[in-house]
Amino acid sequence: MADNTENIGITGGMLRAFIERIERLEEEKKAIADDIKEVFAELKGTGFDVKAVRTVIRLRKKEAHERQEEEAMIQLYMDALGME
């Protein structure tokens, strides 16, 4: 039983360190999310369309060919529904 207790102690310490790191990162993530919310509030206050800006940000993360494929698919669906 002594070996088992020693292993649990070592594992417990490692586990605690991992959990504490995750907790710190979660706090940082929340702070960054709050900062992003503030920037979007400023953006909106300046008169920009937040929904459009979010779409632009999402599209900027994609390669040009991915954006073109998405746009073509949207146009295909809109045509199928008789939308202009």
**Distance, C-alpha 55 to centroid of its chain:** 14
Position 12 scores a pLDDT of 85
pLDDT in tens, 9-39: 678 889 999 999 999 999 999 999 999 999 9
Domain range list for the chain = 1-46, 49-84
Position 5 scores a pLDDT of 59
Position 11 scores a pLDDT of 85
Residue 64: helix, strand or coil by DSSP?
Answer: helix
pTM of the complete model: 0.70
pLDDT in tens, 74-84: 999 999 999 98
For the chain, the maximum distance between any two Cα atoms, rounded to a whole number of angstroms, is 75
Q: Which residues contact 70 (CB under 8 A, 6 or more apart)?
A: 62
pLDDT at 72 over 90: yes
